[in-house]
Amino acid sequence: MVKAVVLLSGGLDSATVLAIARQQGYECYALSVSYGQRHGAELAAAKNLARSLGATAHKIIQVDLSTFGGSALIDKEREIPTDGVTPGIPSTYVPARNTIMLSIALAWAEVLGSGDIFIGVNAIDYSGYPDCRPEYIEAFETMANVATKAGIEGTRLAIHAPLMNLSKAEIIKRGGVLGVDYSMTVSCYQADDAGLACGVCDSCRLRRAGFESADVPDVTRYHAGFRQTPAS
Using CB under 8 A as the binding rule, whether residue 108 contacts its own copies is answered as yes
Answer yes or no: is 105 a known binding residue.
Answer: no
Stretch 207-226 residues interacting with its own copies (CB under 8 A): none
Answer yes or no: is 8 a known binding residue.
Answer: yes
Distance of closest approach, residue 139 Cβ to its own copies, in angstroms: 4
Answer yes or no: is 4 a known binding residue.
Answer: no
Rounded-to-integer distance, Cα 232 and Cα 226, Å = 16
Q: Which is nearer to its own copies, 81 or 151 (CB)?
A: 151
Using CB under 8 A as the binding rule, whether residue 62 contacts its own copies is answered as yes
Kindly indicate which of the ranges 60-68, 163-171, 188-196, 211-219 contains the residues binding its own copies, using the contact rule CB under 8 A. Answer: 60-68
Q: Give the one residue of 3, 78, 81, 110 binding its own copies; rule: CB under 8 A.
A: 110
Using CB under 8 A as the binding rule, whether residue 41 contacts its own copies is answered as no
Stretch 169-208 residues interacting with its own copies (CB under 8 A): none
Using CB under 8 A as the binding rule, whether residue 160 contacts its own copies is answered as no
Q: Give the one residue of 42, 116, 125, 131 binding its own copies; rule: CB under 8 A.
A: 131
**b/e map 94-118, b = 16+ CB within 10 Å:** beebbebbbbbbbebbbebebbbbb
Kindly indicate which of the ranges 87-95, 176-184, 198-206, 214-222 contains the residues binding its own copies, using the contact rule CB under 8 A. Answer: 87-95
| Contact assessment for residue 195 and residue 213, using Cβ atoms and an 8 Å cutoff | no
Instruction: List residues binding its own copies (CB under 8 A).
Output: 59, 61-65, 67-70, 89, 93-100, 103-104, 106-108, 110-111, 130-131, 133, 135-136, 139-140, 142-144, 146-149, 151-152
Q: Residues marked as binding for Zn(2+)?
A: 188, 198, 201, 204
Which residues fall in the annotated binding site?
A: 8-18, 188, 198, 201, 204
